[in-house]
Structure formats: C-alpha cells, structure tokens
Homo-oligomer: A and B are copies of this chain.
Amino acid sequence: MSDQETRQLLVEQLRAFYGRDWVSGTGGGICGPAEDGNLLVAPTGVHKERVHPDDLFVIAVADTSVVLPPANAALRPSECGHIFTLVARERSVRSVVHTHALSAVLAADLARATDHIVIRDLEMLKGIRDLTNQDVHLLPVIDNTAREQDLVAAVAGALSDPRFKSAWGVLVRDHGCYIWGADVWEAKRHTEVYHYLFSALVARSDVGHPSAIQSTS
C-alpha cells in the first residue's frame, strides 16, 4: 500500500472511531506503516474527525524522531509516538490505535487493584489473531500518568510480561487503551473486537455474570 493510500485509510479510521465516540474532544490517535518501514502518525491536539491525509507525520520506529513533517508547520506529532514506536519494535507491528472509549475506561475499572482483566466465554475473542473462543484472555491494565510519554515504562513492562504475550492491547486506567495489529486493517479489526469485548465484559459485570468475575488478588 502506498503512503498516500495509508494516509487516506488512517484518516478514514479516525472519522469512524470519532463516530463511535472513541476519539472525541481531540483525544486518541492512530499510526500505520510508512513505505520506508517507519510510521505514519496523526498530529496531536486536533479534532480527529477532521484530520487531512496531508496532516500526518512520518516518525522513526527506532527513536520516534520526525522523519517527514506535514507542510502545516503548526502541527505537532501525536504524544502517543513513544508508545507507538515501542509497540512497533517489541511486537513487530506497524499500526497502533489509541482510544479514550468510555467502555475501555469502565473495563479497566473492573481490574480494581490487579494489573489485568480476564476476558473469556465470548466468540468475539476469535477476532483477535491467534485466539480461540476457549481462551481465558488476560489483557494488561496499567496506571495512568500525568504525561502520555510517562506511560512508556509501564507499557514496556506489560509487553515483556509472559502472562500478556497473547495480548494485542493494553488498557490504561482512567484513560483508555492502546490496540495494535500488523497493518491498519488488522488494527481496525482488533480495535473493534476489543471494544466489543470491553462492552460485553462491563454489561455482564453489571448483572453479575460468572464469566465477568475478575480475580481480586
């Protein structure tokens, strides 16, 4: 896929996510693969449903430096950059989505004092690569920090934790989630699936469904 096609696809996803109230109020972000192996990322602090393909930056996977800025000099690259490149390096993926979806915040609440949520007994688990609907899936939950870049250490910890090796996302308490895939299409699918799973878990927890009971240790 050409950079121009990826740029178009990324802004389409932002508009779609905005329509679901996952990136409202200028929140959230997305990146996808640039042809040179680096990442195309959306700017920060802008209304995500109004991002134009030409507004994206190319940033280096290696060190998050700006390889190619947009023509509009007023734009700054997403504050998620350090997390996006960390995930790209550690998981060999090229598309990461960051949302502030309320369902993600409420799902993270279910973890209480633990460092993860448990998702099981849902067919939609199959929508995450390599999972089956028989899996008891652990998704890491990390604490929020004052600045987005200060989440990097905790994300790195979650990525290196063997309990979470099948996870394609990280929940951030009081904040939202990061979800990734090999390319934009897989990241889109994983994003839709995880948000469905969050809503299902929250709804089942509300009525005391056994599969939604989380460990409290």
Interfacial residues, chain A to chain B (CB-CB below 8 A):
21, 24-27, 47, 100, 102, 105-106, 109, 121-124, 127, 132-134, 144, 146, 172, 174-176, 185, 188-190, 192-193, 196, 199-200, 203-207, 209, 211
Contacts and interface: CB of A to CB of B under 8 A. Distances in A.
Number of copies: 4
B176 A123 contact: yes
A105 B193 CA distance: 14
Contacts of A26: 127, 189
Given A47-B188, A196-B100, A123 B109 contact: no
21 contacts: A21-B196, A24-B192, A24-B193, A25-B124, A25-B193, A27-B123, A27-B127, A27-B193, A100-B124, A102-B200, A102-B203, A106-B200, A106-B207, A109-B209, A121-B174, A123-B174, A123-B175, A132-B146, A133-B146, A133-B175, A134-B146
Nearest to A209: B109
A45 to B, nearest CB: 9
Nearest to A26: B189
B203 A172 contact: no
A185 B102 contact: no
Contact of A47 (B47, B124, B189, B204): B189
A25 B174 contact: no
Nearest to A105: B200
Nearest to A19: B19
Cβ-closest 6 pairs across A and B? A123-B175, A25-B193, A25-B192, A25-B127, A24-B192, A121-B174
A207 B166 CA distance: 30
Given A123-B176, A205-B207, 12 more contacts: A21-B196, A24-B193, A25-B124, A25-B192, A25-B196, A27-B123, A27-B193, A109-B207, A123-B144, A123-B174, A132-B146, A133-B175
